Amino acid sequence: MAAEPQWDLGRRRRLARILSPASGRAVVVAIDHGLFIGPLPGAEDLTQTVAAVAAGGADAVQLTPGAALSAGRELIGPGRPTLVLRMDATNVWRPKPKANPIYHARVASPMDAVRLGADAAVCFLFVGYENDRVEGENLETVASWASQCRELGMPLVVEPLALQPGGQPVRDPDLVRLMVRMAWEAGADIVKADYTGDKESFRRVIRSIPVPVLVRGGPRCDTVEETLIMVADALEAGASGVVFGRNVWQQPDVPGAVRAIRHLCHEGGTVPQALALAGQAPAGGGR
C-alpha cells in the first residue's frame, strides 16, 4: 500500500481540530465582517467578541489577519477555539455607485495561515460576475490557493456565493448545487454554503460533493429559535455544522447562543433544549 503524502497528516490533524472526531461536525463563528462592511454592533471590540465566543465553546473562529494578530490571545490555551484565517476581501456588501465594479482582493496567503497558527484558511468563490473574465480570475485564485494549501497541509474552506443582479436568488437550490460543486472541484476541503430553505433541496446540495458542508449564516435571523430551527433542519439534511456570524454575536447572550448551537451539532439535542441553553423559551411550543 502506497504511503500517504507527508502533508496529508498535517491536513488531517488540522481538520480534526475543526470538525470534532466524535460528531464529525463543527461550530465555527465568523467575525471577519469588519473587512467588508466595517464594525458592526456586537463586533466593535474584537477581543471581547472572541472571548465571548470562546466562552461558549466554539470549535473555531473565522478572523482576518489583523483581527487574528489583535485578538488571537483569546485563542491560546486548552479548550480554546482554533483559527480559520480569512484570505480575501470584497466590496460586494458596501453601498457603491453602479459604475464601480465588484472587486475580489487577496489580503493573506496560505503561508500566512501557517504563520498565524491557523487550522484552516477560507476564501470566497463568487459566481455570476457581470464579466466572466473576472469570475475566471476569482476561480484561478481559489485554485492557486488550493494548490498552496495542499503543499502546506492546510485545509481550505471555500465560500461560494452568487452575484446575479436581477437573477436567481442566492438560495436557489440549483444555483447552490452548481456553486458548491465548483468550489469542491477547485480544491475545497470544506464548503461553506447557504441553506436552501428546506431539508430535501439541501440534502441534494450536500450529496453533490464528497466533502463536509457547513451552513453559512448569512443575514441575521429574526429570532434565536428561527436560527436553531435552521441549524436542526440543515443537520438533518446532512450538514456538518455551521459558520455563523451575526446570528451568534448579535444575540444578547453570546456564549449561550454558541452553547445552544453546540448542543444541536455535537450532542444531537432538540431545538427546545438548545433554546433553554440560550436562555429562551420556544415561541411555537417547541419541536
| Dihedral in degrees, nearest 10, Cα atoms 58, 240, 195, 88 | 60
128, pLDDT greater than 60: yes
Tens digits of residue pLDDT in 78-127: 999 999 999 999 988 887 665 578 889 999 999 999 999 999 999 999 99
Angstrom CA distances, 136 to 93, 106, 131, 225, stand at 21, 15, 9, 39
- Can you tell me the distance from the alpha carbon of 264 to that of 274, in angstroms, rounded to the nearest whole number? 7
| Confidence category of residue 167, pLDDT binned at 50, 70, 90 | low
1, pLDDT greater than 50: no
**CB of 275 within 8 A of CB of 260?**
yes
Tens digits of residue pLDDT in 187-229: 999 999 999 999 999 999 999 999 999 999 877 788 899 999 9
Active site residues: 192
**CB of 245 within 8 A of CB of 23?**
no
4, pLDDT greater than 60: no
Q: State whether residue 161 is helix, strand or coil.
A: strand
6, pLDDT greater than 90: no
**CB of 54 within 8 A of CB of 74?**
yes
39, pLDDT greater than 90: yes
Mean pLDDT of all residues in 159-171: 77
Q: State whether residue 202 is helix, strand or coil.
A: helix
Mean pLDDT of all residues in 266-285: 84
Output the average pLDDT for the chain.
91
- Can you tell me the distance from the alpha carbon of 197 to that of 171, in angstroms, rounded to the nearest whole number? 7
Mean pLDDT of all residues in 140-164: 95
User: Roughly what angle, to the nearest 10 degrees, separates helices 224-237 and 199-207?
Assistant: 50
Domain at 6-277, CATH homologous superfamily: Aldolase class I (3.20.20.70)
287, pLDDT greater than 80: no
Give the pLDDT score at 98: 58
**CB of 112 within 8 A of CB of 85?**
yes
Percent of the chain scoring above 90 in pLDDT: 80
Give the pLDDT score at 217: 87
55, pLDDT greater than 90: yes
Give the pLDDT score at 8: 87
- Domain boundary assignment for the chain: 6-277
